[in-house]
Amino acid sequence: MTTNPKYVLGTEANRIFMASETYELLNFGKGFPAAVGGSGWLNSDGTIDPSHGEETWITSRMAHVYSIGEMLGYPGAGELANKALAGLTGVLHDDKNGGWYPQVHEDGTPEPGKVCYAHAFVILAASSALLAGRPGAKELLDEALATYDKHFWDEETGLAVDTWNTEFTELDPYRGLNANMHTVEAFLAVADATGDNSYRVRAGRIIKHVLGWAENNEWRIPEHFGSDWTVELEFNADKKDDQFKPYGATPGHGIEWARLITQWALSSFPNADVAASYVEAAEHLFARAVADAWNADGTVGLAYTTDWNGKPVVTDRMHWTLAEALNTSASLYAATGKDEYAQWYATFAQYVDEYVIDHQGGSWFHQLDKDNHVIGTVWPGKSDLYHAFQSTLIPFLDPSVSIATAVKNAE
């Protein structure tokens, strides 16, 4: 374990290091607004890559980040948040059928379909914008929740479906946990921002399914399912590095789920023993993920995916997995007091500083190969700030409270 105070949780040096990263990230990303509204995809130098058009999930993430930036007092953040939100109420919104297009291409053509993953991020963005006092945020949140409740939430199963056609008339048979994970994040954010605890209860229903699947699979979370929620472990075996639906287990998701489960448990159960049982399950997820993926292929870093025996498959290092590792190790340390999590935090912080942060160009490199060289086969450029930005704040906030509400409470 490193003893450099820059990386040690609880030191002034670490807080300064991460606070400076908060500022640098907000500074790097401020060129995101697209001319038609919403956010472009950022290149490695912070300029917009027009080939991506505008995407709902990227735009929502930037609205979320700069809404928090406004609450932190970053100059101009409120207006930047407004520009992102204008994309969600404008070019990305399907005025005919309701909901949000996944993407509007450079030529103005909408990408067909309606995707749960993107709609979950609209909810997250609107809840953060509401806390930041952005104009129209409540109306956007109300519409986003109504759309989600009508089309994506399956009350009978207590899980979210994944993808519709544009008109919301044909539901794809695929079911996936990535969208459900970000649904949990969004639901917890709504519950904290509005006081509507029904969304926290819904998050718990999803979490209990996930824990059942994970515990029955040696704490490696299945990601892909059929229409009746039968596990499909070999899904995308022929396309192992798919951007959103990779084959096998994704240790970074195990780590991210561990934090969300910890947050949900701490906020749901005044009985410490009940909460502790779920935190213990989160510990199992974290332990499995780092045992399988950390330094698992002979070089330092966190492998992107593994097979169902824990052997690395895609050995690239994605920046978001390290951001979530910082968040979760700090949250588990706060929840349990166990030194091992503080040690993990310091280990991850040192790795991020040495390999992931672009100290010359700004922001974080989004994808490295197994030898920690920058590549862009899955994540070209530096698309948005969401994961990196959150990891500069969450480790210092109440682990039972969503990031935007926690920042608002600290104002």
Q: Is 387 a catalytic residue?
A: yes
Helix (H, G, I), strand (E, B) or coil at 270: coil
Question: What are 324's two structure tokens?
Answer: 């979530």
d(CA 229, CA 247): 17
Q: Beta strand pairing status for 48-49 and 41-42? A: antiparallel
40: which DSSP letter?
Answer: P
DSSP letters along 152-182, please?
A: TEETTTTEE--EE-TTS--B-S-EEHHHHHH
The helix, strand and coil proportions of the chain, stated in percent and rounded to the nearest 5, come to: 50, 10, 40
Q: Is 373 a catalytic residue?
A: no
d(CA 334, CA 406): 15
d(CA 115, CA 98): 12
Closest CA to 23 of 296, 308, 363, 276: 363
Q: Beta strand pairing status for 114-115 and 224-225? A: unpaired
Closest CA to 402 of 125, 202, 106: 125
Closest CA to 64 of 45, 80, 50: 80
d(CA 271, CA 276): 9
Place of tokens 């959150």: 390
Among candidate residues 253, 359, 366, 373, the one labeled active-site is 253
Give the CA-trace dihedral at 210, 211, 212, 215, to 10 degrees. Answer: 130
- Other CB atoms within 10 Å distance of the CB of residue 291: 12
Closest CA to 24 of 313, 411, 352, 376: 352
> Residue 49 phi/psi, 5° resolution?
-90, 105
Which residues form the catalytic set?
253, 387
